[in-house]
Amino acid sequence: MLYGLIWRDYNNAVDALVNGRHSAEKGIFKQPTNHILFLTEYRARAEWYYLNRFSYVDEKQLKELHKVVLISPTNYDLFKYAQLLAFNGKNEEAIQQLAYIDGLYHVRYSSSQLFLHSDHKIAIDYDQITPKRL
């Protein structure tokens, strides 16, 4: 029976991850509908995909999301996390994420790309940041 529940969780997780990524790309942000009980890292990743990068979250949520990003630090995940940090006023940490992206993927984003609207500015110069260890 336990194997059946884990198999169900895995199938739900795959569906939630695919649907979450597609919804996020379309700008549709909602809670995942699939119930994942045992595979908690898949559940956290699905919730991450469904999360609007321009939403306010508390410090505890930021730490939990940081763990999700560290598990699989793709360009997409690091940039989305940088945007979330910048939106929540963590500008230095957001710029640090851009430095990680540059170091890992050789993709260089400007700090102005962190915001939805160009009228937001970050007062930190990207070139002044020295990458720290993840």
d(CA 21, CA 80): 12
Mean pLDDT taken over the chain: 84
Return the pLDDT at 67: 95
pLDDT 10s digits, 30-80: 666 668 888 888 889 988 988 999 999 999 999 999 999 999 999 999 999
The structural domains of the chain, with segments of one domain joined by +, span 1-52, 54-134
Rounded to two decimals, the pTM is 0.80
CA distances 86 to 36, 51, 98, 99, Å, are 30, 15, 11, 14
More confident residue, 132 or 110: 110
- Cβ contact 115:85 at 8 Å: no
